[in-house]
Every structure is written in C-alpha cells, then in structure tokens.
Structure 1
C-alpha cells in the first residue's frame, strides 16, 4: 500500500495560490483537499498543536440555510472571542482563542456549499457545549455533533 501524494491544480487557482489535491502516485482520480496550500498548512498546524492538545474535543458539522452562512458563523465566533489566524476561503474556517480552537473544513468542489465539518477542542465539555450552544442559537445555523473525545458519560 502506497500513500497518496499531494498535487497543485494550477488550472483551479484561488487567492494567489492553487487548489491542493491528492491522488495515488501512479495516477488515478484526483481528490480535492484544500482551497490553497496556505490553508492546508494553517489547518494542520491549528489541529495538531491546538485542537489535539485540548483535553476535550468534539467533531460534527455546521450547516447554514444559504451558501453565505459562513458570514453568520464568523460573526458568532467573533462574538465568542475567537480570532481567525489567517484568512481562508469558503471551504475552510480556522478559529482560535486562549481556551479553545476550532477548525471547519469541507472539500473545495464537493457541491455542499452550506455545510462544513468541524473539530472543536477546549479544556472542558462545558466550554464546548457553551460554544456549540451559541452557534446553534443563531437561527440560520444548525449544529450536529457526531463524536466526543473522550466520550462523555
């Protein structure tokens, strides 16, 4: 078994960078991964060095009523004290504050313009629930949690 390799798709350039795709080294179908290499590196760093280091994490999806739902999500996260470490495109969001971090991403050409998966980490389940509750109270956003790590009792 051979790992897949990352490639730039220069025909799908975005924001002075190129779409990041992956495929088998010997060819085959390309799978879109990130809007830009910068997003990929920042997402991986925030995930590895912030979210994964948090004692409590959850994974799920956030969905909006329209393709512009990210402006509502950005507004809620800002009101909760989160900053965005870098600017990102419509298929990636990165949020950070001292006690919590969240990554949201989706496949760039997936056709799901109103949904992103997320991983959220913090020091406690209570903090995560409060953050998710604030997001869910925004009438144009819907939150669904799939897993908690460690599992809640």
Structure 2
C-alpha cells in the first residue's frame, strides 16, 4: 500500500493559510480534507510524534454534541485541568498539553460534521486519562466515547 500524499488546496483559504488534503499522487478517489491549515498539520504531527506516542497509556475516541461548537465547550474544562494550547487553532483542530497528558482532537473541514470530533488522549496512566475524560463529560455536556485503549485495559 502506498501512503496518501498531502496537497495544499489553494481554493480553500483558511486564516492566511490553505486546507491540507490527502490523496494518491496519481489521482483516483476524491481528495480527503485532513487539516484546515498547514500550520495545524505540522503542529499536530509534532505533538503526536513527540508527546502522544511517548505516553505509556493512550486512548482514541470521539466527542459529540448535537447543537454546539465542540471546542468552545472543551477549552474551559481543559484549562481548568491545567492544559495549555501550544498553538492557536481553528474550529476543526484542538491541541492541548500538560506535563502528564496530551490531547488532540480534530474534525474534517467541509464534511458537515460540525458536531463530532475525534480525539487522541495520552497520559502517564489510565487513571489520569479516566479523570480527564470524566471531567470533560461532566463539565462540558459533551458525549465522550472511547473506542480503543493502548495498551488494552484489563
């Protein structure tokens, strides 16, 4: 299998940058929007590689809320838990970190999925991750669904 290549969609400007799409180099399927800006793609990649992948416990899942901008509900809760944002992001990408945990969440631009964001959460242990997810669910009214734990919980 060949990896998808990243392309700049200059017809989709966003905050002084352009949407990053992915597709096969020789065409084929329609391009898939990956990030609203190139800056977000680079920052997400660095946070993923140098923080998330290094965490002893990780989980992946989705955040959902029918009628609201998810990140505007998420940011106050994460701030109260000691998370900071390494860069300013738009509506589709959120990057948050603190000493013992890192969270990234994202959605796909132009797919009309305003009420769903996937997330990656890594931390020092499962208890830390469960406390963070519990506070997000309780304090933000977001629905939190964890799809996978790595390593698997017993």
Give 5+ residue unaligned stretches, structure 2. none
Corresponding residue of 1:104: 105
Indicate whether 1:7 and 2:7 are aligned. Answer: yes
CA RMSD of aligned residues (A): 1.1
Give the Cα–Cα distance (whole angstroms) in 2 for the partners of residues 2 and 72 of structure 1: 38
Indicate the larger mover: 130-139 or 22-31. Answer: 22-31
Deviation at 1:2, TM superposition (A): 3.5
Equivalent positions of 1:3-152 (< 5 A) are 3-28=3-28, 29-152=30-153
Q: TM-score, normalised by structure 1?
A: 0.95
SS at match of 2:136: helix
Contact 2:94/2:106 (<8 A) preserved: yes
Q: TM-score, normalised by structure 2?
A: 0.95
Give the Cα–Cα distance (whole angstroms) in 1 for the partners of residues 12 and 135 of structure 2: 35
Deviation at 1:66, TM superposition (A): 2.0
Give 5+ residue unaligned stretches, structure 1. none
Segments of 4+ moved more than 6 angstroms: none
Give the Cα–Cα distance (whole angstroms) in 2 for the partners of residues 137 and 148 of structure 1: 21
Indicate the larger mover: 93-102 or 26-35. Answer: 26-35
Give the Cα–Cα distance (whole angstroms) in 2 for the partners of residues 133 and 140 of structure 1: 11
